Amino acid sequence: MKKLLLGLLILGITTPLMAQDIELSEVVVRPANYKYLESVDNQQAAIPVKLLEQKVANYDLKHSDIYDDSYDTYTVSFYIPDGKIVAAYDEDGNIIRTIEKFKNTKLPDPVRTAVVERFPNWEMTENAFQVTYHDKKGINHKGYKITLINGDQVVKVKVDKDGNFM
């Protein structure tokens, strides 16, 4: 009886030691419209801008109420209080083009630095961030319109994403 219990104990301990380790390859999940997200590349953009662009990229056209397989393109508008994106999708749910406009967003560091250096005593009162994207061309336009005030003087300037005045 002791030999039987000892044998079962040894068998119970050694069996898990013989288990095989299986390594699985890494899986990367990307949204269907990853090209759009890579093109707009808003690392320094305000959080509402990033979130709305994520919604546009992850929008499931085929399971929406507007989907009908007889159309070639679909135009869908996405709104938040700070801005909007109008996106055109093909019949497979891929983004063809977008027009984006956001009001009073956080300016990226290069834009803020360029404006402060060129207009040192001016106050930024409002801004608009605009992006146009096309699937074949990538980003057509990405820039900021900024309103500056100094006393009773008002100036409106246009700046690209790198801080270059247009």
Is residue 165 very low, low, confident or very high in pLDDT (cuts 50, 70, 90)? Answer: very high
Do 35 and 61 contact (CB within 8 A), yes or no?
A: no
Which residues lie across from 86 on neighbouring strands? 77, 99
Looking at residue 131, its pLDDT comes to 93
DSSP string, 95-157: EEEEEEEEESPPPPHHHHHHHHHHSTT-EEEEEEEEEEEETTTEEEEEEEEEEEEETTEEEEE
Percent of all residues in the chain with a pLDDT value above 70, rounded to a whole number = 84
Range with the poorest average pLDDT among 9-13, 104-108, 126-130, 156-160: 9-13
User: What does the pLDDT read at residue 116?
Assistant: 94
CA distance 34 to 47: 18
The predicted structure's pLDDT at residue 15: 60
Which residue type occupies 9? Answer: L
Q: Give the pLDDT confidence of 110-134 residue by residue, as tens digits.
A: 999 999 999 999 999 999 999 999 9
| pLDDT attached to residue 13 | 67
